[in-house]
Amino acid sequence: MSDVHAGPAGLAHQFEDLEQQHETDTLGIWVFLVTEIMFFGGLFTAYAIYRWFYLPSFEAGSRILNITLGATNTAVLIGSSLTMALSVRSAQLGKRKALIVFLILTMILGGVFLGIKGVEYHDKFVEHIVPGIDFAPQGEVLQHLAPGGLNHAQMYFFFYFAMTGLHALHMIVGMGLLLVLVLRARRGDFSPHYFAPVEVTGLYWHFVDIVWIFLFPLLYLIGGRY
Amino acid sequence: MSSPHVVPLRTYLLVFGALLVLTALTTGVAFINLGPLNTVAAMAIAFTKMLLVLFFFMHLKYSARLMRVVVLAGFFWFALLLALVFADYSTRGFPASSSPAPWSVAAPPTHP
């Protein structure tokens, strides 16, 4: 922020006032998030097409996933969205300590999510259902997957790893951004007049949460558990 | 309105509670056989959860109209992608194994 020009603290000189600056900041990140909708949208569309082609295999594949871990992770991620929203609120109110605490809580919950995801990935390796690398399901897993054809089931797990992997990558990027925010908040960079980095990172984090809100039912639930 | 809207703590906690209840609901519904309605219910609940996150956590409820138009445009474009891709695949009788569209040309019968 340049302070060459007179004006409220945190106002960059090209803007009329703080409100216009705030709208510009959020519009920028929203436009980026629209490109992210299309980025994930390509995968969602491909998933929908292949699910339609190979329905029995996709239903079998989704029944093999661990629904307990999936549902837990959904709750964890929603919790991290709450702490993220409270981070932004603390920044708006100029509560520096609370801001740092909520940012760190968000990072911890993000870490728990990735840890649980790691356990699930590990289970897939143990069960030999990693597509392309080691796809040789055995025993009970094979019984579940066999009816629709193993190649079609392998396609399901390609989607599972691609979609959850891309989502996890977004989480890792988000946690890097959160770390920068913690360091900047400690330095006292943010005030009720200037907290755009916190708000913009928050919007990104919530978007990643929305992606998971759709991945959970699409991958874990709609195969049916009855 | 020089500084952006500060959302009350109560609102955030209520939204958080609603999201958890909906997560439990969608998980529970997966254990009941409703036929094709299972997918409809799962998607409807996910859509509701998305709206809660968009409007409250992402402040769309308190944002300028411009922001809502941008988001709507994004989802509209995604809907176009889905609709046109499905229109394409569903009218070409592809894949061969699934039942072809009624107007597609039937493959000639093979005689052993």
Cα atoms found within 13 Å of the Cα of residue A225, Cβ hemisphere only: 17
Interface test with A, best of B5, B9, B22, B27 (most A CBs within 10 A): B27
Q: How confident is the model at residue A137 (pLDDT cuts 50, 70, 90)?
A: confident
Interface test with B, best of A19, A30, A55 (most B CBs within 10 A): A30
Count of A-B CB contacts under 8 Å:
145
pLDDT tens digits, residue range A89-115? 999 999 999 999 999 999 999 999 999
What is the C-alpha to C-alpha distance for residues A1 and A204, in angstroms, rounded to an integer? 22
Among B2, B7, B67, the residue with its CB nearest the CB of A18 is B2
pLDDT tens digits, residue range B76-111? 999 999 999 999 988 886 665 555 444 444 555 556
Distance (Å) from the alpha carbon of B112 to chain A's nearest alpha carbon: 25
pLDDT attached to residue A97: 96
pTM: 0.90
Is residue A80 within 8 Å of A205, Cβ to Cβ?
yes
pLDDT tens digits, residue range A16-43? 888 888 899 999 999 999 999 999 999 9
pLDDT attached to residue A119: 97
pLDDT attached to residue B99: 52
| Residues of chain B positioned with their CB less than 8 A from the CB of A48 | 82, 86
Domains parsed from chain A with CATH numbers: 18-221 (1.20.120.80)
| Residue B69 burial (C-beta neighbours within 10 Å; 0-12, 13-18, 19+) | exposed
pLDDT attached to residue B108: 53
pLDDT attached to residue B102: 47
Q: For the residues A150-163, what does the mean pLDDT come to? A: 92
Is residue B8 within 8 Å of A93, Cβ to Cβ?
no
The complex scores an ipTM of: 0.91
B22 touches chain A (CB under 8 A): no
B51 touches chain A (CB under 8 A): no
Distance (Å) from the alpha carbon of A127 to chain B's nearest alpha carbon: 24
pLDDT attached to residue B38: 93
A217 touches chain B (CB under 8 A): yes
Q: CA separation (Å) from A96 to A1, A137, A188? A: 19, 52, 8
pLDDT attached to residue A195: 93
Minimal CA–CA distance to A134: which of A147, A121, A143?
A121
Q: How confident is the model at residue A212 (pLDDT cuts 50, 70, 90)?
A: very high
Is residue A190 within 8 Å of A99, Cβ to Cβ?
yes
* Closest residue in chain B to residue A73, using alpha carbons only: B23
A113 touches chain B (CB under 8 A): no
* Closest residue in chain B to residue A93, using alpha carbons only: B6
**How high is the mean pLDDT of chain A?**
92
pLDDT attached to residue A22: 87
Kindly tell me if the per-residue pLDDT of A81 is higher than 50. yes
Residue B112 CB coordination number (10 Å):
2
pLDDT attached to residue B2: 40
Maximum average pLDDT range among A139-143, A220-224, B76-80: B76-80
